[in-house]
Amino acid sequence: MDSLAPDIVQSYIKHLRFKPKYENHPFKIGDEKKGQLKNSTIRIYTRAVKVFFNYIRDDLDCEVTFKRPRLPTNDSRIQLPLYSHEVQALDQVFLNSTEMGLRNLCIIHLMLDGGLRSEEVIGLKVKDICFDKDYILIEDSKNHKSRIVPLAWNLRIYLRSYLDYRDFKPMDALILKTNGSEAINYNVLKQLFFRIRKWTGVERLHPHLLRHTFAVSYLVGGGNLEFLRDMLGHSDYTTTRDYVKMANQYRMMDADVYKLDAIFFRQIK
């Protein structure tokens, strides 16, 4: 660590400014995304580096010295959550009477009604769905954290119906490709969301928007920040707080943002 230059973080920021947007990203489709990374993305990457250096210094007891970096101006745009009628349009794309229709509904609602990340949906095992205790277990996720989230009633129905189509073992992948023998991957999700955008006209739709909608809807419904941070698997409140202002605005306007299942608010009453 002694060989690291004090301005290494600033040099990293400079490198990111010239990094092509969506380079090697699993959800990039052709050349539809061009340009450089946004300032808000660079700020997220830089925060991750600072967390890593703090871990080295505090947990591994290594001396790390670097200059406080100058972060670029935050240029993040407001990301609108999904409204109830938009979610209804997503659901109507797929038949809940077919295996593939149910599979796709499970994917959508694991993100929308559970706040799961794409990689978490891909990595789920059958055993992670605890039907008898009404929760989903997400193990060894981002930053090697594990957590549980309540199992919404409509998601429970989709998952039960989907699993009825096959024999399974607890350690089997939960969501499978069309061949029925392999777990889905990022390419499956990329193609799925491309088709949904085309069929519904919801152009801003992408996997993280479902997780974003989950967070905003939870706060609009009266949820608290601590529970939300735990359910999203955030390591601190920095990212979680971003949802508060938007949730307050939608609550004030009484906007028809997608509503979460009542199970998420039992502990609040």
Give the tens place of pLDDT for each residue, 204-233.
999 999 999 999 999 999 999 999 999 999
Per-residue confidence (pLDDT) for residue 172, from 0 to 100: 96
Closest-CA residue to 115 (of 147, 80, 85, 140): 147
Section 103-108 average pLDDT? 98
Per-residue confidence (pLDDT) for residue 267, from 0 to 100: 60
Rounded Cα distance, 124 and 49, in Å: 28
> DSSP 3-state assignment of 66?
coil
Give the tens place of pLDDT for each residue, 137-154.
999 888 778 999 999 999
Cα distances (Å, whole numbers) of residue 15 to 20, 36, 56: 10, 11, 22
Section 109-125 average pLDDT? 97
Q: Give me the amino acid identity at 202.
A: V
What are φ and ψ of residue 20, in 5° steps?
-60, 140
Rounded Cα distance, 141 and 255, in Å: 33
pTM (two decimals): 0.74
Rounded Cα distance, 44 and 34, in Å: 20
| Statement: residue 57 has pLDDT above 80 | no
Strand order in the sheet with 129-130: 129-130, 135-138, 147-150
Token couple for 43: 């700020």
Confidence of residue 56 (pLDDT cuts 50, 70, 90): low
Per-residue confidence (pLDDT) for residue 261, from 0 to 100: 96
Token couple for 44: 């997220």
Confidence of residue 237 (pLDDT cuts 50, 70, 90): confident
Report which secondary-structure segment, H or E, holds 148. strand 147-150
pLDDT above 90 covers what percent of the chain?
Answer: 57
Section 242-258 average pLDDT? 89
Per-residue confidence (pLDDT) for residue 269, from 0 to 100: 46
Closest-CA residue to 90 (of 79, 101, 98): 101
Highest mean pLDDT among 159-163, 235-239, 240-244: 159-163
Token couple for 198: 């085309």
* DSSP assignment of 203-267: TT--HHHHHHHHHHHHHHTT--HHHHHHHHT-SSHHHHTHHHHHHHHHHHHT--BPPPPGGGGTT
Token couple for 30: 């052709």
Give the tens place of pLDDT for each residue, 171-190.
999 999 998 889 999 999 99
What are φ and ψ of residue 116, in 5° steps?
-75, 145
Confidence of residue 3 (pLDDT cuts 50, 70, 90): low
Confidence of residue 25 (pLDDT cuts 50, 70, 90): low
Q: Give me the amino acid identity at 22.
A: Y
The alpha carbon dihedral of 200, 76, 41, 213 has a sign of: negative
